[in-house]
Amino acid sequence: MDSAVVEAAGLRVRRGTAEVLRGLDFSIGAGRVTGLIGPSGCGKTTLMRAIVGLQVTSGGALSVLGRPAGSASLRPRIGYAPQDMSIYRDLTVAENVGYFAACIGAPADDVGRVIEQVDLAPYTGRVVERMSGGQRSRVSLAVALLGEPDLLVFDEPTVGLDPLLRRQLWDLFAELVAGGVSLVVSSHVMDEAERCADILLMREGELLAHESPQSLKERTSCQSLDDAFLALVTASESAP
């Protein structure tokens, strides 16, 4: 495997009496798209927030780009697009991206570049409130791309996008990886996992698998990732 961009050892997150992440061990290689796959409520968003330094952990270790997660030096090196978009609905696309570019000290020409990358150039003057949910998601992605970070973390980026825009977005992910960026992308849609080099398959705060989609299907003797996931769940429930 290439050098790791994210490494976890015994990673735990607790909220009140509930343990949301239960002793995760994994290493994510650089220069690839890693899919964080699993049903809603399995801990994907909590794990992504931990990676970008927004979630307090309760045990274990988590390093990102060779530094402890949450280190100040990591801030310009990580781009994050949360599922709940942190953009201003009363501003235009250009105003939103321009504001966040100024916040992180990104070059002025970054604004046009990232808007073009997410295919929003015709909408630069559109107020976000008047845009569709899918378009708003792409504004959030544009903000995450500012400054050309080394690691991009996208939480459910294709929610609300039609099939054509989903394909265009995955084409963009492939271009970013070709340029040397590493991506962690979450989804609860199994067919999107097929586009990833590796997947972390989660259920109820635990990892069921960490391998390539093809390897997982071969190991479980399944034709689809949906069937492979069900096979792993069945096996885990029957284990002593």
Q: pLDDT tens digits, the chain, 240 residues: what are they?
A: 458 999 999 999 999 889 999 999 999 999 999 999 988 899 999 999 999 999 999 999 999 999 999 999 999 999 999 987 779 999 999 999 999 999 999 998 999 999 999 999 999 999 999 998 888 888 999 999 999 899 999 999 888 778 888 888 899 899 999 999 999 999 888 888 999 999 999 999 999 999 999 999 999 999 999 999 899 988 877 666
Task: Identify the pLDDT of residue 191.
Answer: 81
Tell me if 117 sits within 8 A of 166, measured CB to CB. Answer: no
Which sign does the torsion angle of CA 75, 62, 32, 170 carry?
negative
Q: Which H helix or E strand runs over 89? A: none
Task: Identify the pLDDT of residue 1.
Answer: 44
Task: Identify the pLDDT of residue 2.
Answer: 55
Helix ranges (DSSP H) in the chain: 44-51, 93-104, 110-117, 133-145, 163-178, 190-193, 213-220, 225-238
DSSP 2: P
What is the rounded distance in angstroms from the CA atom of residue 13 to the CA atom of residue 219? 30
Longest dimension (CA), the chain: 59
Which pairs from 161-168 meet CB under 8 Å and 24+ separation? 161/134, 161/137, 162/134, 165/119, 165/134, 165/138, 166/192, 168/119
Is 0.75 topped by the overall pTM? yes
Domains and their CATH numbers in the chain: 4-238 (3.40.50.300)
What is the rounded distance in angstroms from the CA atom of residue 43 to the CA atom of residue 203? 8
Which 3 state secondary structure label does DSSP give 155?
Answer: strand
Task: Identify the pLDDT of residue 84.
Answer: 74
